[in-house]
Amino acid sequence: MSSMLATTSERRAVEAPSLDLRIVPINSLVPHEEHDHQRAEPLIGRVREAGTWLNPPIVAPLDATRYVILDGANRHYALTHLGYDYILVQVVDYESEQVHLTTWNHVVSGMSWFEFLRNIREIDHVQVESADLLNARAAVARRSVLAYTVLDDNRAYTLNSFDPSIGARTALLRQVVDTYKRSGVLNRINTDVLSRARVDFPKAVAIVVFPHYQPAEILVAARDGLLLPPGISRHVIQGRAMRLHYPLDEFRANNETLAAKNEKLRVWMQERNAQKRVRFYAESTYVFDE
């Protein structure tokens, strides 16, 4: 369903992207990446306590009956864990200019850089080689390595695999991330310079940088179950719906049909617009209650 969003009179009018919010069966959503238990476990508690649905996952049609989760794997996991039957999502056209795919880096803390590197060296079929940062960046750009990392000794190290298959390389990436997801703390960042990362993460010991993916690779990962590690793909959405506060009770199976649930959602959106409670922000924003 589409909705014309309100804008403030103080700023120049900017055309808002169409907004397609739907309630769909929760099992119709297919992830392309693993959920991050460090984020998902606290989220379960917050969702249970809030009783409302704040930020719908961003999804795109995968086939006639399924949607690939572009952003929101942890939210999907949380609702599934809590036993809900339906979920409210924002549907986007993956081929439109509304969606831009880029990549997150991982910043790792909670362990020593020596332990971090040792754990990765112990993974079978992953070769760790010292490199200068510029060459490491070029290798990731060429997709000739799995990833590279910058450690506390200010050296870059490439992570290599000799198996060219997508399945094998993705499985190895999951193993790499598992080593520090299990023993350390993972956060997302967009720099590969450790001194910059330490402005926000003072105890950071390493940054891991991954290749850039294409939308077709995201769709294949979902379709074939070749899940990426958590927190790598980054989908920037123009016109993302946030802070809805939609009642979670509407996601339970009851005597209502799915069509009836979506009709209630449509009326609810109309009421919010009529009350001028929906605002489109054309500029980038920081959200502190995610």
State residue 158's pLDDT score: 97
Tokens representing residue 104 in the block: 């997150």
Is a pLDDT exceeding 60 seen at residue 4? no
Helices (H), the chain: 37-50, 73-81, 113-121, 133-142, 166-183, 194-200, 215-224, 258-274
Average pLDDT of the residues in 80-102: 96
150-163 pLDDT, tens digit per residue, is 997 678 999 999 88
Which residue has 């980054």 as its token pair?
234
Predicted confidence band at 11 (pLDDT cuts at 50, 70, 90)?
A: very low
Predicted confidence band at 5 (pLDDT cuts at 50, 70, 90)?
A: very low
Statement: 1-102+213-290 belongs to CATH 3.90.1530.10: yes
Predicted confidence band at 3 (pLDDT cuts at 50, 70, 90)?
A: very low
Domain locations along the chain? 1-102+213-290, 105-209
Decide: 228 and 33 in contact? Cβ < 8 Å: yes
244-261 pLDDT, tens digit per residue, is 999 999 999 988 999 999
What architecture is the 105-209 domain classified under in CATH? Answer: 2-Layer Sandwich (3.30)
- The DSSP bridge partners found for residue 271 are none
Q: What is the mean pLDDT of the chain?
A: 91
Domains 1-102+213-290 and 105-209 share a fold: no
**What Å distances lie between residue 220 and 68, 90, 209, 245, CA to CA?**
10, 21, 22, 33
Give 259's Cβ-side CA count (13 Å radius): 0
Is a pLDDT exceeding 90 seen at residue 192? yes
Predicted confidence band at 290 (pLDDT cuts at 50, 70, 90)?
A: low
Is a pLDDT exceeding 90 seen at residue 111? yes
Decide: 88 and 67 in contact? Cβ < 8 Å: no
State residue 10's pLDDT score: 44
Average pLDDT of the residues in 103-123: 95
Percent with pLDDT over 90 in the chain: 81
Instruction: Give the C-alpha separation, 43 to 153, whole Å.
Output: 35
Is a pLDDT exceeding 90 seen at residue 277? no
